[in-house]
Chains A and B, each alone.
Chain A
Amino acid sequence: MSDLVVLPDRAPTEWRGTAMRRRIARRYAAERRFRALGLLAVLVSAGFLAFLLVAMLGEGARGFRQTELSLTIDFPAAHLPLTAQAVAREPRRAMIGVDLEGAVANAAERQYGAGGARLLSDGAWLTARDAILRDPDVLGRSITLWVPAATSIDIAAKDAGEPAAEAAYAKLSGRGLVRTVFAWHFLTSADSTDPTLVGIWGALKGSLLTMAVTLLLAFPIGVLSALYLEEYAPKNRWTDLIEVSINNLAAVPSIIFGLLGLAVFLQTFHLPRSAPLVGGITLALMTMPVIVIAGRNAIKGVPPSIRDAALGIGASRVQVVFHHVLPLALPGILTGTIIGMARALGETAPLLMIGMRAFVATPPGGFTDPSSALPVQIFLWSDEVSAGFIEKTSAAIVVLLAVLMAMNGVAIYLRNKFERRW
């Protein structure tokens, strides 16, 4: 038996005393302080987000608009070695060696005086070419086209140009010879040296192809790894080691994966440079650990009673996994996958290492064609000297954000669709 200890009696606690009242007041103050700090934190982050969105959308909206100039081309006067019949017969061939660019420049000089050609974008002749291809008969007459204006005019139209360009724009505008339209070609064409001609489709398609490779590799491997580690692997030192390695892999800086891709896929396996295939494999390496970790957490969240229930009526382990565990874990796995994919979509550094920073003026046709990617394209345009690229960079960012938001939307949709309540 323990020794008896005699403890002195305590005075009864004064629950209504001043000391107690002060303690309560301090507790309330702490509550209020904490709530105010939390609210402040939320407001600051919301403010940053709003600032980013407003800045990007404002600048980006200009990138989606393009100024066009009215140009009258008198084809008979240009004496082009081109006939309507030849174009009708073999359109592409007939165009070879025809100095349409010169003809357009001459038309501009004639219409707008000396230096008139500088009002036009370098790609203005493409509009003329398309007009001829659409209807070869225009070769026999004079036509008026809306052609893309030069960058200086384009910027002046958006109230940010040089004084000389602003004056020129004001004059043209007064005569109704310029208009600003939605730049559809920005969504359909690829990179260019001229900011009035650039488009995001090349980079977007490159990114989509890359993501397809990433998803096809990282999702099955990641999910199978997660299932094996959670449902089958014995818990021992080796599986602990694998778990730590996967967690570490998820924390490796992305540029390291780029170097790995360069050394292994390009130099050892001689896969094509700048290709979505290699980009996709590299990003899959980066995304896989994220999927494994998210997948394991989702699988851990499936109640053991469901496994017992299935085992108890004689389901094999594979049946338990595929009939019960996987469907119940799927919302979590999909959310993790899409978060991993979104991260991969925004990743620039590894793609730079494997050559996806090349100037690619045509959208990739397949997985092994040279291609750019959205974040890399943004990086490249932000590096350009020409002022016209500023708003194009913002427009590209808007496209990237839109794709990311769409992916997150899909994640939320899938989670809600597959979520089961019990």
Chain B
Amino acid sequence: MLEPRPLKVDAPKMTARSVNVYYGAKQAIRNVSIDVSMEDVTAFIGPSGCGKSTFLRTLNRMNDTVASARVEGDITLDGEDIYAPDMDVVQLRARVGMVFQKPNPFPKSIYENVAYGARIHGLASARADMDQIVERSLRRAGLWDEVKDRLHDSGTALSGGQQQRLCIARAIAVDPEVILMDEPCSALDPIATARIEELIHELRGRYAIVIVTHNMQQAARVSQRTAFFHLGTLVEYGSTSEMFTNPRETRTKDYITGRYG
């Protein structure tokens, strides 16, 4: 098998080298190496079951919660091995936040949803401090104007798109360095999707963003770098514009042109 060429990034935020992931005896990820840049939005694309979500979840060790999952290889955050024994997984997940496929706000108030992470990590000392964190996070997530008058209503009463932006605000509130988004728009309508994509543009540069999507137009719209996964391997990784206009691999080309997927 060809060694996938990791696209070198100047001062990468996260790096992965020769990563293999197994679920029991089944290998889900084969020898993936990739760099995640701070400046760009990185999109993972590929057909269902290609391992892009699995790989995403190794970046903040969410796979630890799956008893049968096993990860090999090196993954670093700012040069630190995140699978090292002295790495605190709780802090790692605060630094590498995550937004899930289905909006999953806590069944608590909007305020509590955003404040929760900051509270458990002790980021705010006073009530006013916390109010500020909540407001800033909601503003960054583009939700403030819609919810500022009903911060104490339940987060689950919002519409799907608003819920997803609430989840993004919740992730932002703990001041992460990287935000992983696992198909964040797959449960949303086109208007809510457009709103989230707009938001991703606004957040770019402040956070390293990795987004998994099976919507290629979305990858083309929001990302600057794209990684194409197929059957657990990284087929191609490069700048989005190049990948969509001039793919190097036939498999990538076939997928992008809709030959399969």
User: Which residues in B have some Cβ–Cβ distance to A below 8 Å?
Assistant: 60, 62, 65, 67, 90-95, 97-100, 102, 104-107, 116-117, 120-121, 156, 167, 170-171, 173-174
Contacts and interface: CB of A to CB of B under 8 A. Distances in A.
B100 A309 contact: yes
Contact of B93 (A307, A314, A420, A422): A314
Contact of B94 (A303, A305, A309, A314): A314
A315 B120 contact: yes
Interface stretch (A86-94, A157-165, A316-324, A364-372): A316-324
A312 B105 contact: no
B156 A421 contact: yes
Contacts of B173: 313
Given A312-B171, A314-B90, A319-B120, A306 B67 contact: no
A314 B174 contact: yes
Contact of B107 (A308, A311, A312, A422): A422
B109 to A, nearest CB: 12
A270 interface: no
Nearest to A319: B120
Given A314-B91, A315-B90, 9 more contacts: A308-B62, A310-B106, A311-B62, A312-B93, A312-B100, A313-B171, A313-B174, A420-B107, A422-B107
30 contacts: A305-B104, A306-B104, A306-B106, A306-B107, A307-B65, A308-B62, A308-B100, A308-B104, A309-B100, A309-B105, A311-B62, A312-B60, A312-B93, A312-B98, A312-B100, A313-B97, A313-B171, A314-B90, A314-B93, A314-B94, A314-B117, A314-B120, A315-B90, A315-B117, A316-B90, A323-B116, A324-B106, A421-B156, A422-B107, A422-B156
Given A235-B67, A305-B100, A324-B106, A313 B93 contact: yes
Give the interface centre of B60, B92, B93, B121 by most chain A CB atoms within 10 Å.
B93
User: Which 8 pairs show the lowest CB-CB distances between chains A and B?
Assistant: A314-B94, A305-B104, A313-B117, A312-B98, A314-B93, A422-B156, A420-B107, A309-B104
Main secondary structure of the interface of A (DSSP, over half): helix
B107 A328 contact: yes
Contacts of A323: 116, 120
A311 B97 contact: no
Interface in A378-422: 420-422
Give the interface centre of A305, A308, A319, A421 by most chain B CB atoms within 10 Å.
A308
A216 B104 CA distance: 35
Q: How large is the interface on A (under 10, 10 to 19, 20 to 34, 35 or more residues)?
A: 20 to 34
A305 B98 CA distance: 12
Contacts of A314: 90-95, 117, 120-121, 174
Nearest to B68: A235
A234 interface: yes
Contacts of B94: 313-314
Contacts of A303: 104
Contact of A313 (B65, B67, B102, B170): B170
Give the interface centre of B94, B97, B106, B156 by most chain A CB atoms within 10 Å.
B106
Give the interface centre of A234, A303, A305, A314 by most chain B CB atoms within 10 Å.
A314
Contacts of A234: 67
A319 B99 CA distance: 19
